[in-house]
Chain A
Amino acid sequence: MTPVVEIAWTHIVSKPKQTIVAMLGVTFGIGMFIALVSLMTGLNQFTEDVTMTSSPDIHIYHDITRERQSILEEMNPGGINVVHHQKPKAETPKLRNALQIVENIRKDPRVSGVAPTLSSQVFYNYGPVQLNGQILGVDILEEDKLFDIRSRLKSGKLEDLKSNPDGILVGTGLARKLNAATGDRVVITTPEGYTMTLKILGTFQMGIGAVDNVRAYANIATVQTILQQDQTYITDINIKVHDRQKAKAIAPEYEALFHYKAEDWETANATFLTGVTIRNIITWSVSVTLLIVAGFGIYNILTMTIYNKMKDIAILKAMGFAGTDVRMIFMFQSLVIGFAGGLMGLIIGYLLSWLISKAPFEGGDIVSLDHFPVNFDPMYYVIGIVFGVLTTAFAGYTPSRKASRVDPIEIIRGQ
């Protein structure tokens, strides 16, 4: 041990109360930071995962409500044309050449999965009551690649659906409403009046009420039959890309190429993403505030210590310790306080996060949660300790510099 470290260490251990109080500031700052960040990012991660299960990276569909050119404009291009209350044309949501489009997209190396689907509003008949819902015609194995349906199955098997033309998989919420279980039959009616009896082959739970309470999966051909449409009738193409962040760039390419609306997940979930940003801003600003408060605590305590140690500093300088040595003595103290307090903070933060993750939380019908989602990413623990040590280094710098500039003669003669 060099004398500088020895002196600093003696200062730390000879005033244990003061040291512990200074450390507790950092400990609580970092502990709360860890707990907050773990919970917030856990929540964000959870909602993101849940949202992603219901929205593909890119969704291609025929946007029939899209503004179209009026006839007047076609006849009089470039003129001042005013058309009031233009109504959309009676178009079907069908994607023309959908299967050809699917084949083309499949060749794109950036794409990892393409699933053509068609969906329809349906009524599920429960005795005399009709429940509003949605039926999706999918190639269930393709759909599984995109949304990992297999892991969300509560009962039944995906392969059963593949081989059964009048089978469906229903959401758990919907099954509960219908008071139906796997193996039961359910009668559906389309808005056009077509009625069909389907057999429930399994139930799934995506974790969002908006999906689980209304959705059922069937084979593409089954839904085409329900809708009384031909075998080329496809209304949606869902695409999964390798790098989700690139979806926003790829979508416009497809839109230009196929002349159908291509929507990326960021646009589809804009409101949700705003929520994430706001949560992140709150988390980080609260955490940084906590750490700054802890920093002020250290600043105060070090300033006090240095004030009390003026005589010691003077004699050290007289004995031949340079200004840098004196500065090192106090910097060392603040760094030890920061590091030790930070480590304790990590432990406290971990315990808090653990407690939160065990706390019961009823998500209700909206999300399927029984306790808080907490993110235990070690990254935040690294950030926490680095932040803690940096804060204490900043807090210790000014008082330490002041100590290094003490004029020994002034102190010694001032007696």
Chain B
Amino acid sequence: MEPVLQTRKISKYFYEPEKFQVLKQIDLTVNRGEFLCLMGKSGCGKSTLMYVLSTMDTDYEGELEIAGENLKGKSQNYLSAFRNKHIGFIFQFHYLLPEFTALQNVMLPALKLGRYSRAEIESRAYDKLKILGVADQALKISSKLSGGQQQRVAIARALINDPDIIMGDEPTGNLDSYNSNLVFDILQELTHTYRQTIIAVTHDEDFANRSDRVVEMSDGRIIRGDNGNASPPHLV
């Protein structure tokens, strides 16, 4: 199994309102093609961990390695370019740029990366929208789409640069059960068909239980599911 993301002893502190260790010596390895869910009660540090893994939060101790590259201490500009190339995001709120069409939203990260010509990017964006079943909405202004459609466009956008990892913060948190299932099925298909690595933060047990691997956190520590050895649930 090929690890795509590895952490070594990641710790993080919050200083407001008082010093508080939110992540304690996290060691985590994620393999290519895994659909991993980060679970835990609110305040356990799962979202904080995901934002550290996403490279957007750089204020941590320890080592973070994604796609074989150690990212500790890199500049913000470097990390921006790195995210553009290696990481796709799906958020609870879809965060499409409201003035742009669905197609333009999907194309933007690729235009930023500049690996392909505009025409190629457009056809690739159509392909992604087709996979997500929203190709017919491509030319609509994104703010005119329904919540489920927007989230699917957002997933297409996350996929456009063929990222090593897709990260989702409660990707179905804002959807009704029908769309929730739909999005989950899509994510599952992505991992099974395209070997897409997905890390999602969720507190939805159904969602988590249907994924490949659940990593449960409590008080800043991983208490279940670290390093791929699905250990039986044990309580501290």
Report whether A3 and B108 are in contact in the complex, using a CB–CB cutoff of 8 Å: yes
Alpha-carbon gap, A93 to B36, bound state (A) = 110
- Residues of chain A contacted by B98 (CB below 8 angstroms): 312
Instruction: Assess whether B99 is in contact with A11, with CB atoms less than 8 Å apart.
Output: yes
Given known A10-B100, A11-B99, A312-B97, contact A318–B54 (CB-CB < 8 A)? yes
B98-143 interface (Cβ within 8 A of A): 98-100, 104, 108-109, 111-113
Query: What are 5 inter-chain pairs, A to B, with CB distance below 8 A?
Result: A7-B108, A318-B89, A319-B112, A409-B57, A415-B93
Enumerate chain A residues within 8 angstroms of B109, measured Cβ to Cβ: 319-320
A11 and B76 alpha carbons, distance in the complex (Å): 25
Interface segment, one of A155-163, A183-191, A219-227, A321-329: A321-329
Query: With the chains together, A322 CA to B82 CA distance in Å?
Result: 10
4 more contacts with CB within 8 A, not counting A311-B93, A315-B96, A318-B89, are A317-B56, A318-B83, A322-B81, A413-B51
Asked if A314 is at the interface (CB within 8 A of a chain B CB), the reply is: yes
The 7 closest A-B pairs by CB, nearest first: A320-B84, A14-B99, A322-B80, A3-B111, A315-B95, A320-B83, A322-B77
Size bracket, chain B contacts: 20 to 34
Q: Is A383 among interface residues, defined by CB-CB distance under 8 A?
A: no
Inter-subunit contact A10/B99 (CB<8 Å): yes
Whether the pair B95, A320 counts as a contact (CB closer than 8 A) is no
Q: Counting CB contacts under 8 A, is B157 at the interface?
A: yes
- Which of A320, A323, A415 has the largest number of chain B CB atoms within 10 A? A320
Given the complex, which residues of B lie within 8 Å of A321, measured CB to CB?
A: 80, 84, 112
Indicate if B169 sits at the interface (CB-CB under 8 A). Answer: yes
A252, CB-defined interface residue at 8 Å = no
Find chain B residues with CB under 8 A from A323 CB.
76-77, 80
Task: State the majority secondary structure of interface residues on A.
Answer: helix
Is the CB–CB distance between A408 and B56 below 8 Å?
yes
Q: Mark A282-320, 1 if CB is under 8 A from B, else 0.
A: 000000000000000000000000000001101111111
Given A412-B91, A413-B47: A319 touches B56 (CB 8 Å cut-off): no
Do the beta carbons of B76 and A319 come within 8 Å of each other?
A: no
Question: Smallest CB–CB gap between B105 and chain A, Å?
Answer: 9
Contact of B179 with A by CB under 8 A: no
B111 in contact with A317 (CB, 8 Å):
no
Q: Closest CB-CB distance, A193 to chain B, in whole Å?
A: 93
Instruction: Tell me how far the C-beta of A317 lies from the nearest C-beta in chain B, rounded to whole angstroms.
Output: 7
Contact B112 A318 (CB under 8 A): no
- Report B-chain residues with C-beta under 8 Å of the C-beta of A318: 54, 56, 83, 89, 91, 95
A-contacting residues, B32-87, CB 8 Å: 47, 51, 54, 56-57, 76-77, 80-85, 87
Q: Which B residue's beta carbon lies closest to that of A317?
A: B80
Contact for A409 among B51, B77, B108, CB less than 8 A: B51
Cβ–Cβ contact B111 & A2, under 8 A: yes
Distance from B33 Cβ to chain A, minimum over Cβ atoms (Å) = 23
The answer to whether B85 touches A320 (Cβ under 8 A) is: yes
How far in angstroms is the closest Cβ of chain A from B107?
A: 8
Tell me, yes or no, whether A48 is within 8 Å of chain B by CB. Answer: no
Which residues of B are found within 8 Å of A316, using beta-carbon distances? Answer: 97, 108
A89 to B86, CA, bound (A): 101
Task: Check A6 for interface membership: any CB of B closer than 8 A.
Answer: yes
CB proximity to B under 8 Å, residues A1-38: 2-3, 6-7, 10-11, 14
Complex Cα–Cα for A413 and B76 (A): 19
A residues in contact with B93, CB < 8 Å = 311, 415
- Taking a contact as CB atoms under 8 Å apart, the answer to whether A319 and B54 are in contact is no
Return chain B residues, CB-CB under 8 Å to A317.
Answer: 56, 80
Measured between beta carbons, the chain A residues less than 8 angstroms from B51 are 409, 413
A322 to B76: give the CA distance in the assembly, Å. 7
Q: How far is the CA of A316 from the CA of B99 in the complex (A)?
A: 14
Minimum CB–CB distance from B120 to chain A (whole Å) comes to: 15
Within 8 A of B (CB), among A313-360: 314-325
Contacts of B104 in A (CB 8 A): 6, 10
Q: B191: CB under 8 A from chain A?
A: no
The CA of A311 and the CA of B92, in the complex, are separated in Å by: 13
Cα A320 to Cα B83 with chains together (Å): 5
CA distance A320 to B76 in the complex (A): 10
Alpha-carbon distance A378/B47, docked complex (angstroms): 61
Quote the shortest CB–CB distance from B140 to chain A (angstroms): 14
Q: Which residue of B lies closest to A315 (CB)?
A: B95
B54 cross-chain contacts in A, Cβ below 8 A: 318
Q: Which residue on chain A has the smallest CB distance to residue B157?
A: A319
The closest CB in chain A to the CB of B158 belongs to A319
Select which of A6, A322, A415 is within 8 A of B111 by beta carbon: A6
Query: What is the 8 Å Cβ interface bit string for chain A, positions 395-415, against chain B (1 contact, 0 not)?
Result: 000000000000011001101
Contacting residues, chain A, for B112 (C-beta < 8 A): 3, 319-321, 325
Q: Give chain A residues whose Cβ lies under 8 Å from the Cβ of B96.
A: 315
Q: Given A317-B56, A409-B56, is A324 in contact with B77 using a C-beta cutoff of 8 Å?
A: yes
In the complex, what's the smallest C-beta–C-beta distance from A17 to chain B, in angstroms?
Answer: 14
Q: Which residue of B lies closest to A309 (CB)?
A: B97
- Shortest Cβ distance from A211 into chain B, in angstroms? 67
Cβ–Cβ < 8 Å partners of B83 in chain A? 318-320
- In the complex, the chain A residue whose C-beta lies closest to that of B78 is A322
User: In the bound complex, what is the Cα–Cα distance between A415 and B93 (angstroms)?
Assistant: 8
A55-91 vs B, CB cutoff 8 Å, 1 = contact: the mask equals 0000000000000000000000000000000000000
**Chain A residue at minimum C-beta to C-beta distance from B89:** A318
CA distance A3 to B113 in the complex (A): 10
- C-alpha spacing A322/B95, complex, angstroms: 17
Q: In whole angstroms, what is the CA distance A415 to B170 when docked?
A: 12
The distance in angstroms between the C-alpha atoms of A315 and B89, with both chains bound, is 9
Write the nearest CB–CB distance from B176 to chain A, whole angstroms.
18
Shortest beta-carbon distance, A269 to chain B, in Å? 61
